[in-house]
Structure formats: C-alpha cells, structure tokens
Amino acid sequence: MAVTGQLASVRRDLRERDVRVVITALVVAVATVATISLFASLLQRALVTSASAFLAADRQLEAEHGRPIPPDWYQEANRRGISTASMVEFSTMVFGGDRFQLVAVKAVSDAYPLRGQIEMQVGEGAERELVSRGPRPGEVWLNPRLMRLLALDMGDSLEVGNQALTVSGLLLREPDGGFSMAALAPRIMMHADDVPATGVVREGSRVEYVALFAGEEPELEAFHRWLEPQFHPSHEWKSVQDGETLSRSLQRAERFLLLGGSLAVLLAAVAVAVASREYALGQRDTVALLKTLGLRGGAISRLYLRRLALWGVAGCAGGLLLALPIYYGLAQVLSEVLERPVAAELDWRALLPALVTALVALFGFAYPPVRRLRQVAAMRVLRSEPGESGRRAWPDILLAGLAVFGLVWFYAGELAMVTALLGGVAALLAVLALVAWLMVLGLRHLRGGGTAWRLALVALYRHRQSTLSQVSVFAMTIMLACTLILVRSSLLDDWQAQLPENAPNHFLINIAPEKVDAVADFWEQRGHPLAQLYPMVRGRLTELNGQPVKEAVSKDERINALNRELNLTWMSELPADNALVQGQWFEAGARDGVSVEYELAERLGLKIGDRLGFTIGSDTLSETVTSIRTVQWESMQPNFYMAFPPDGQLAAMPSTWITSFYLPTSEKALLNDFARAFPTVSVLEVDHIIERIRAIVQQVTQAVEAILALILAAALVVMAAVVSATLRDRQREGALLRTLGGQQRLLVRSTMLEFALLGLVAGILGALAAEAAVWALQLRMFEGEFQWHWSVMLPVPLVSAALLSLFGRWQLAPVLKVSPMLLLRRLE
C-alpha cells in the first residue's frame, strides 16, 4: 500500500474511539519515555559536568613521592584532543612580615581549573568573584584566616622558600577543595611557574604532582587505557565516579531516574493494554462478519497486525513530536537551575528506549487481545457468544508480564530494581483482586442512603468486573505515583540525614597525644565540645595471609587503598554510624584482631580469620580480621578502613589524634586563637565542600521533581484512557437511565459518588501497596528500615477520591449534553 493509502487507513481507524485511545496512549508512552530518557541523559551530563568541577577536571592523575608526571603524558593527552592542566601540592613554611606559618601550597598552571571555578576576593570586603584561572606568576592568593594569622594586607609580600610573591587575592573556595589528609595546613595558591624559584621542591621531597584532564568521555577512556600500563604504584587515577561522597549521590540520582523511567514504562503499558482490550472487544462483530464473508483466521491476523504496525508508526511519530518541545522546555528550566548549564543537545541514542517501548507496548500489550480476534466464531453474526473465558487470557497475561519484565530490565538494567518494582505490582494486583472482590461483596449489603448514593453503590456492584479492573488500574497508578513520592522523599531524607544541619565542618588533625585534653578543653570552654577523638597511625596494608597484598588480589581490581597509606586507628567502641556486618567487636581488654571496612573487605575478598600485615614506618604489624563493618563516609566524621583494639600492638606505635566538629561561619575567628594556642595542630576546613554537596543535592532534587511531574502527568493520561474505555457503556447507561426517568442531577451525583468510592478504595490500596514496594526498594537499594509514611498514606485516598470524582464528572459531561432521544437513536 502506498503511503497515502496507509494514511487513509490510519485516518479511517481513527474514527474508532478505541483506536484513538490506543494511539493516544502510545503517543503519551513514547513522549514520556522519550522525554524522560532525553532529560535523564541531559541530567547525567549536567551532573557529571557539575561533579567534574569537584575534581576541577574530568580526570585527575596524582603522583606521590615527588615524581613529576612525565611531560609526554600531557602531550599524548593533548594529541588526543584532551585539555590538560597541572598542579603541584606541598607543605612548607611561609614568611610574611615578622611571622611564619606552615601552609599547604597548591601551585597551578595557567589552564587550572579545567572544570568549575575558583571563588576569590581581591581584598577583604571586596566583591566575591568566580574566576576560571589561578594567580598569575609572581602573585599568591591566601586563605583569609592565614591572612589574619600573618597580619598581611593586599599587595604585601609573602616569602615562599627563596621566592617573594605579592599577595593579590583571598582564596575562598577551590573547585577541587576535596580533602585529603595531606592538606593539613591553611592553603595558599600560587602559579606553577614560580615553584622552581622557591627552591622548596626537590627530587624526593614530599610533593604531590597532579595532572588534570578534561575532554570527551571516549577519548578519556582511551587515554586511560593507553596510560594504565605505564603507571607506577604511586600513581592514582581519579574520576568523578571515584569521589566517595559525590559518587554515591550520583549513583542514587541515576537509580532514581531509571526508576522513574521504569514507572513510566509501566504506566504506558497499562494504558495500551486497557485501550486495546476495549478495541478488540468492539471488533468481534466485524471479525465474525469478515469470517462469514470468507476471510480466514490467518488473513484476519495479518489485517490486524498491519493496523497495529500503522498505529505504532503514528504513535511513535506523535510521541516524538510531543517529546521534543517538552524536553527543550525542561532543558531550559534545568539550565536556569544549574550552576553550569549544559547545552540541550539531542541525544538520538536516548530515543531508542522510547521506540523499543512503543514496539513492546504494541506487541506485548495491544497484540494479545487483538490476536485472539482470529478465534472469534463466525457464528457470532447470528448470535452473541458468551464472553471470553479467563483461561484463554492467561497466555496474554504471561506475555504481558514477560514484556513488562524485559522492558523494565532493558530500561533500568538492574535486576534488583526490576524485581522489587514488578514484585510490588504483582503483589498489588493479587491483593487488589481479593480486596476489590470483598468490597464488591460487601457493597451488595449496603443499599441504604439516598438515591444517588444507592445508584453509585449499585453501579459499582453492577459493573463489578469493570469496577475490579478500574480499581486495580487506579490503585496501580496511585501506587506508582506514591512510590515515586515516597522514594523521592526518602531519598532526600537520606541525603539530608547524611548532611544534617550541624554536620561537622572542621577537622582537627595532627593533635599530639599529650595535647588531646588541652585541645578538648579549648573547644569545650568556647561552647563547641568535640564529640569524639580518634588516634591515628599511618600505615600501608602490605600482606594478606603471608603473601604480598598486590599479588594476593586480582590484578583487575584497582584498589586505591593499596596505593597509599591508610589511616589506622584503635577504638574500644563501635562508632554510632558504623555497623557490624560480620564477626565480633573487640571485647574489653582484647589485644588482637582488626576490624575492616566492608567495601574494602569485599574488594580484597577478605573474610573473618584472614591475616593482614601492615607496614608502619619501619615497623610491621600482623593481625587477624575479627570483624567487618560498614562506614558512612558521608557523615563527615573521621572514618577508618582499619580499626584495632585499644590494648593491642597499634596502640604502642607513635600516633597523632584526629577529630571533627561543627563551627558556624560566624565563629570562624576562633580558629585564629586556636592556631596561636596550638600551632602544631592542623585545622581542615570542609564547610565549603559540604556547601557544594548541598548544592548538588538541590539540583538533583529539582530534576527529580521535574521527572515526578512528568510521570504524574502520564498517570493521569492512563486514568483518562481507562475511564474513556468505559465511556461507551456509561453513555448507553446514562441515556437509558434518563429515558427511564433518571434526572441529570441524580446522574451527576451518582457518577461522582461512584468515582469517589473507586478513588477512595484505589487510594487506600495503592498507598498500602506503595508502602510495601518502597519498603522492598529501600531494603534492597538503600538498606533502610520499614516505616509508615503517614503524611502520604492519609491524604492520598482522600485526594484520589476527590480527583476521581471530578474526573468522573468531567467524563460524564458528553453524556449529559446529549438529548436522550438522540442518544437512543444513535445507540439503536
């Protein structure tokens, strides 16, 4: 058939209401999935870009032990179209006026930062600026506290080794201000070209060289593959995904978007299934007639398959046309929210899920009832046969189930999530069928009340089959929406819980054992008591069960913890935010054993009873793993991979102490008094990092809200599809009721009541099912505990009842406008 013929055929099909509903459902499905996946891909890029700002690049290569990064590595990167920058980090004493101070120096090249911006001021009280470059050669920027400590002003001279630099700015925030334990002292930033003249950095001095790379993902990956064989153990390759705190947030955001996408897929499938079933029911007489005219089953199947294919094309085209403006609108909103806007490119690969969805929705959901049309008996032209038996519907349900599973799996790519989601749906449907049936049975006895009330109850009971399926579909939609709301709020609560309002934002490091009490007293007296102090010994994990650890673990595993010194501690009690996964915590007076952090233990394949060897300075230490525990790295408390008993061998090693505490910005001046009282103790200010994490959480929240709104819109369209699928019966019934003497007001009231009852029951069931699904999700994904969400549970059934009763009123409007005379003529 020529294109015009196909178009004419679609036009002809469109005259049928059910076909319009199927195509509309497809349009909505494709539009929703396309918008969500386009938007998700945009968001991914935005988040990665935003997160890259955390590294000041897309990738960082760190080299410890004073080995500069070979220049040809930079050249190779540039040759591959990757931009580069470099930094050198070291600690040294600086002199300003007549004072001196130990500082952490960051010397950066011209191109720094490749991602993100530096926040600085050109003087106390000057405007805060965001700039994309560091100090020029001959200049230096100082942390404001250091400025005060050294009593310096703008334009004064600061001596770094042999080189005098002019103070030209206050350094407020670095994009890669993430903390490592090497960053012990207040920060100064200078230009990398000035480093040789200082004479501070020599071969073998304690210096960290960092190369920064930014570029397209495939090039960066290829470059990493080229680079990897040349790495020395002191080299550490860092990507956004490796940043502990942020990557967790990103992973959750990613999961959430996928979850949203999967829910949209389910909604789409429901809409198509409902509408196509109605279509097939309406086609039975036509098929019977065609059979009477001599058409065989095969030909009928082909006829309907061709129609389905045409609808698919129409649905995809319409869906994409609808998705693009929505996507660009959302991208616009997002770019207003984001600190660093991302161009709203059209990622054609992101459209694939939408097209696959259309195909699966058509053939997994629309096709089965249509396929069964070939079984319609020609006899039907003479006499209506009883309805289809449930037995014949089973293969359809199985096929639809498999289609949903495959589709959601394809979309989310994660079995646990798919299982939880579909498990929730299956459980919901089972419970729904049962409860809805009980409800219908119960309603039989509820015949009191006014006429409208009675009619509503009677209508629910009379249409028990469609009541049952409507309650199921509504409840499922409500469940999806509630799950989304609950998951969203519990995700955010989760994030907020990790970063409570007064999360520690300062670390005190390098506290000598004999100063511990004095330091604690200092802050106690000033109203900021220190929660917990931990001893810290730096050491490397070198042996596993007598073997060198790098041989003992798989070469494929890239374990940063093995490449650097670990912070080892001893403690008598398990910290509140740690949780024991395996083994026993140290008993009082225990001398032996070590407790290992869970993820490291997983990656090293450690189990209880393994023997670990550590090298600490010139000493070695060997201990047996006695427990494995989880650690909340995001908690901003000191956390340790390895913990030893307080009376063990580690306690005999030379140690320093560490703690963290919350200090509001308004009291930052106290740090100056502290630095004067305890010049050897280092203060690490992480309040800027916390601020950044909060900002990112905020962005993700906004994106999530946008997606939530989209899915809720999809849910409403599904509801419309279901309601309009029963419209024909309702019109007929309405006309008849009016002919038999029912008044318009009565019809309106009874319909609104009927829908309100439907909505109430569906709301209760949906909210309950959502609780169950969320619990399953949290258990699997977020390791949360079950709790009732009353704030969602209580209003949802009421809102659902109100919404559906208005919806029913709206649906009934066409029936009320038509004269019963005309209705009767049309129906006859």
DSSP per-residue string spanning 258-289: HHHHHHHHHHHHHHHHHHHHHHHHHHHHHHHH
Q: How far is the CB of 440 from another protein (least distance, A)?
A: 13
Q: How far is the CB of 466 from another protein (least distance, A)?
A: 7
Contacts of 456 (CB under 8 A, 6+ apart): 749, 750, 751, 753, 754, 757
The helix-helix angle for 244-292 and 390-412 (nearest 10°) equals 150
Is 733 near another protein (CB under 8 A)?
yes
Cα–Cα separations (whole angstroms), residue 615 to 242, 295, 330, 618? 25, 85, 54, 7
Q: How far is the CB of 820 from another protein (least distance, A)?
A: 5
Q: How far is the CB of 743 from another protein (least distance, A)?
A: 4
Contacting another protein (CB under 8 A), which of 295, 736, 779, 806? 736
Contacts of 664 (CB under 8 A, 6+ apart): none
Contacting another protein (CB under 8 A), which of 732, 780, 789, 809? 732
What's the Rg (C-alpha) of the chain? 34
Q: How far is the CB of 382 from another protein (least distance, A)?
A: 11
Residue 67 CB: number of other CB atoms within 10 A? Answer: 15
Is 825 near another protein (CB under 8 A)?
yes
Q: In the structure encoding, which two tokens stand for residue 583, read together?
A: 């083994």
Is 738 near another protein (CB under 8 A)?
yes
Please choose, out of 191-199, 561-569, 590-598, 816-824, the segment that lies near another protein by the rule CB under 8 A. Answer: 816-824
Q: How far is the CB of 460 from another protein (least distance, A)?
A: 12
Contacting another protein (CB under 8 A), which of 299, 672, 819, 826? 819
Of the candidates 549, 601, 605, 566, the residue with the CA atom closest to the CA atom of residue 580: 601
Q: How far is the CB of 816 from another protein (least distance, A)?
A: 10
Is 827 near another protein (CB under 8 A)?
yes
Of the candidates 274, 104, 92, 93, the residue with the CA atom closest to the CA atom of residue 183: 104
Contacts of 54 (CB under 8 A, 6+ apart): 116, 175, 176, 178, 240, 243, 246, 692
Q: How far is the CB of 454 from another protein (least distance, A)?
A: 7
Please choose, out of 92-100, 252-260, 606-614, 731-739, the segment that lies near another protein by the rule CB under 8 A. Answer: 731-739
Contacting another protein (CB under 8 A), which of 72, 216, 385, 524? 385
Q: Under a CB-based contact definition with an 8 Å cutoff, are residues 731 and 815 in contact?
A: yes
Residue type, position 21, single letter: V
390-394-395-399 Cα dihedral, nearest 10 degrees: 130
Q: How far is the CB of 276 from another protein (least distance, A)?
A: 20
Q: Under a CB-based contact definition with an 8 Å cutoff, are residues 523 and 536 in contact?
A: no
In the complex with another protein, which residue's Cβ is closer, 65 or 745?
Answer: 745
Of the candidates 267, 266, 268, 275, the residue with the CA atom closest to the CA atom of residue 727: 275
Is 739 near another protein (CB under 8 A)?
yes
In the complex with another protein, which residue's Cβ is closer, 303 or 824?
Answer: 824
Is 501 near another protein (CB under 8 A)?
no
Please choose, out of 187-195, 212-220, 383-391, 649-657, the segment that lies near another protein by the rule CB under 8 A. Answer: 383-391
In the complex with another protein, which residue's Cβ is closer, 196 or 449?
Answer: 449
Residue window 743-762: x/- pattern of binding to another protein, with contact defined by CB under 8 A: xxxx----------------
Are β-strands 128-131 and 566-570 bridged in parallel, bridged antiparallel, or unpaired?
unpaired
Residues 425-484 that bind another protein (CB under 8 A): 451, 454-455, 458, 462-463, 465-466
Q: Under a CB-based contact definition with an 8 Å cutoff, are residues 169 and 48 in contact?
A: no
Q: Which residues of 794-813 are buried (b: 16+ CB within 10 A; e: fewer)?
A: eebbeebbbbbbebbeebbe
Is 737 near another protein (CB under 8 A)?
yes
Residue window 592-631: x/- pattern of binding to another protein, with contact defined by CB under 8 A: ----------------------------------------
Q: How far is the CB of 271 from another protein (least distance, A)?
A: 22
Beta bridge partners of 190: 107, 140
Please choose, out of 5-13, 477-485, 715-723, 734-742, the segment that lies near another protein by the rule CB under 8 A. Answer: 734-742
Residues at the contact surface with another protein, assessed by CB under 8 A = 383-387, 451, 454-455, 458, 462-463, 465-466, 729, 732-733, 736-746, 819-822, 824-825, 827-828
